[in-house]
């Protein structure tokens, strides 16, 4: 009788387990990446076609009514959509994408002469950099050289940095403002220094990276957004924020820019100090108690309304792309951990929570980014740079995993 009761119990347990809802098995990463890239291509072709009759405009975001907002070549995000198109062409070898990528890249060409802001690196290298990499067209190469010459005109040797903003209304409180975002523009200078055998480009980039590493980071390796310098002494005169929650908070995209920037500088220069800095920033981000389980950060790690604060997909995409590369430069468990977080981020961004529906979201790829929360602009909307770094992360992971 005892054995009979045990048998009945086992059968009942088996029945209960069999009737319980089963979790769907996780999609293979290769399937996630390929489906996401195919969707990105679909959206980007729709985007390109939507602006065919506006030859001087580039996608920026959407407004409160869900309508596309565009910008001219002079706005700092202008190079990102051409870069998306070049990445998607690289992935698919689709000639339609190449034609559109060429079209939108040339829309940014006049920015090679820009000397009144630091974003010429974003504008030109995210567009013409990929164009030259994938076509070897010397005309693209020449544009990058001119843009690099333009960018270094903003370097102050006393400070040791490239100035970020000039006398814009929001920047008049600072004497010589340098934002952490500026680390991203150094990639063009590092590439140009090697390509054109011009040590001035690399010296400026190295000086900027070293000065930023010295003054922009707190003891926990979180970053200030803005550091303003005294041009007579070269020393910091203010450490503030413009887009973060507070001067002492860790603005999420700022942490992402810093991480990506020092990973890139290690790749280009091989300086172990840059690798150590990248690892410290990564560890700050990944070990932060306010990093959500899905690894897409709140717009600021110190936002007062966490866990109800808005997420920033753009910060998540930038961190993801940087971690994939950083996993190649470290070994053992740390490499595995960085890659695992990046995979989690890619899966999250590729889920319905963040990925748009076909033909929706202004034809952008990702939802839920935050541009400038304190100003109330571009809040919980798609952003062209979120799409750029997401597609870059997909491409990097595909290559990293040999998929």
Residue 71 burial by Cβ neighbours in a 10 Å radius (0-12, 13-18, 19+): middle
Mean pLDDT value across residues 141-165? 98
119 is catalytic: yes
Residue 203 burial by Cβ neighbours in a 10 Å radius (0-12, 13-18, 19+): middle
| Alpha-carbon span 125 to 146, nearest angstrom | 11
What the block records as the tokens of 98 is 């190449």
Confirm whether residue 119 is marked as ligand binding: yes
Is residue 223 a contact partner of residue 180, using CB atoms and an 8 Å limit? Answer: yes
Over residues 90-136, the pLDDT tens digits come to 999 999 999 999 999 999 999 999 999 999 999 999 999 999 999 99
Mean pLDDT value across residues 161-184? 91
Burial per residue of 284-319, b for 16 or more beta-carbon CB atoms within 10 angstroms, e otherwise: bbbebeebeebbbbbbbbbbeeeeebbbbbbbbbbb
Percent of the chain scoring above 90 in pLDDT: 92
Rg over CA atoms, the chain: 23
Which candidate in 94, 116, 119, 302 is catalytic? Answer: 119
**Residue 40 pLDDT > 70:** yes
Which candidate in 181, 300, 312, 387 is catalytic? Answer: 181
Residues in the chain: 403
Beta bridge partners of 161: 156
pLDDT at residue 13, as a whole number: 41
Is residue 325 a contact partner of residue 396, using CB atoms and an 8 Å limit? Answer: yes
Is residue 263 a contact partner of residue 278, using CB atoms and an 8 Å limit? Answer: yes
pLDDT at residue 18, as a whole number: 52
Residue 232 burial by Cβ neighbours in a 10 Å radius (0-12, 13-18, 19+): exposed
**Residue 25 pLDDT > 90:** no
| Alpha-carbon span 194 to 92, nearest angstrom | 29
Confirm whether residue 181 is marked as ligand binding: yes
pLDDT at residue 170, as a whole number: 75
| Alpha-carbon span 224 to 222, nearest angstrom | 7
**Residue 400 pLDDT > 50:** yes
Is residue 226 a contact partner of residue 241, using CB atoms and an 8 Å limit? Answer: yes
Confirm whether residue 241 is marked as ligand binding: yes
| Alpha-carbon span 154 to 232, nearest angstrom | 16
Residue 269 DSSP class: H
Over residues 250-303, the pLDDT tens digits come to 999 999 999 999 999 999 999 999 999 999 999 999 999 999 999 999 999 999
**Residue 19 pLDDT > 80:** no
pLDDT at residue 169, as a whole number: 72
Cis amide bond preceding 307, omega within 30? yes
3-state secondary structure of 311: strand
Q: Considering only 5-19, 134-148, 247-261, 294-308, which range has the smallest mean pLDDT?
A: 5-19
| Alpha-carbon span 239 to 112, nearest angstrom | 30
Over residues 347-391, the pLDDT tens digits come to 999 999 999 999 999 999 999 999 999 999 999 999 999 999 999
Angle at the Cα of 373 from the Cα atoms of 367 and 375, rounded to 5 degrees = 125
| Alpha-carbon span 213 to 193, nearest angstrom | 21
pLDDT at residue 311, as a whole number: 98
Is residue 61 a contact partner of residue 382, using CB atoms and an 8 Å limit? Answer: yes
Percent of the chain scoring above 70 in pLDDT: 94
Burial per residue of 73-82, b for 16 or more beta-carbon CB atoms within 10 angstroms, e otherwise: bebbbbbbbb
Confirm whether residue 253 is marked as ligand binding: yes
Q: Which of 393, 399, 372, 288 has the alpha carbon at shortest distance from 60?
A: 372
pLDDT at residue 167, as a whole number: 76
Confirm whether residue 251 is marked as ligand binding: no
What the block records as the tokens of 400 is 């990293």
| Alpha-carbon span 372 to 60, nearest angstrom | 14
Over residues 179-207, the pLDDT tens digits come to 999 999 999 999 999 999 999 999 999 99
pLDDT at residue 172, as a whole number: 83
- Average of per-residue pLDDT values in the chain: 94
Cα dist. 318→87, 148, 256, 260, 346 in Å?
Answer: 15, 23, 6, 7, 11
Q: Which of 142, 140, 138 has the alpha carbon at shortest distance from 126?
A: 140
Domains identified in the chain and CATH numbers: 38-398 (1.50.10.10)
């Amino acid at each position: 009788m005892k054995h009979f009761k045990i048998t009945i119990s086992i059968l009942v347990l088996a029945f209960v387990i069999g009737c319980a809802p089963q979790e769907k098995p996780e999609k293979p990463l290769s399937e996630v990446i390929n489906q996401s890239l195919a969707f990105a291509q679909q959206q980007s072709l729709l985007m390109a076609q939507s602006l065919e009759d506006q030859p001087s405009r580039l996608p920026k975001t959407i407004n409160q009514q869900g309508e596309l907002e565009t910008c001219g070549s002079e706005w700092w995000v202008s190079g990102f959509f051409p870069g998306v198109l070049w990445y998607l062409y690289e992935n698919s070898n689709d000639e339609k994408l190449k034609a559109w990528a060429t079209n939108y890249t040339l829309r940014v060409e006049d920015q090679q002469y820009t000397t009144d802001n630091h974003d010429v690196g974003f504008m030109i290298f995210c567009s013409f950099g990929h164009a030259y990499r994938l076509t070897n067209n010397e005309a693209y190469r020449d544009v990058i050289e001119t843009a690099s010459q333009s960018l270094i005109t903003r370097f102050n040797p006393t400070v040791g940095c490239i100035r970020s903003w000039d006398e814009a209304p929001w920047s008049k409180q600072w004497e010589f403002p340098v934002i952490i975002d500026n680390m991203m523009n150094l990639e063009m200078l590092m590439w140009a220094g090697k390509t054109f055998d011009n040590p001035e480009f690399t010296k400026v980039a190295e000086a900027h990276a070293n000065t930023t590493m010295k003054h922009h980071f707190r003891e926990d390796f979180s970053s200030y957004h803005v550091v303003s310098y005294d041009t007579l002494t070269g020393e910091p005169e203010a450490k503030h924020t413009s887009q973060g929650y507070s001067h002492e908070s860790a603005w999420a995209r700022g942490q992402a820019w810093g991480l990506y920037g020092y990973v890139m500088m290690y790749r280009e220069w091989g300086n172990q100090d840059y690798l150590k800095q990248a690892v410290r920033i990564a560890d700050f981000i990944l070990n932060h108690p306010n990093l959500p389980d899905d690894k897409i950060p709140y717009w600021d790690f110190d936002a007062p309304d966490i866990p109800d604060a808005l997420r920033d997909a753009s910060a998540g995409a930038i961190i993801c792309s940087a971690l994939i590369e950083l996993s190649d430069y470290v070994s053992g468990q740390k490499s595995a951990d960085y890659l695992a977080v990046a995979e989690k981020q890619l899966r999250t961004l590729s889920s319905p929570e963040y990925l748009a529906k076909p033909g929706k979201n202004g034809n952008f790829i990702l939802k839920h980014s935050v541009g400038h929360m304190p100003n109330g602009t571009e809040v919980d909307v798609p952003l062209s740079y979120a799409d750029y770094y997401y597609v870059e992360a997909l491409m990097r992971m595909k290559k990293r995993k040999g998929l």
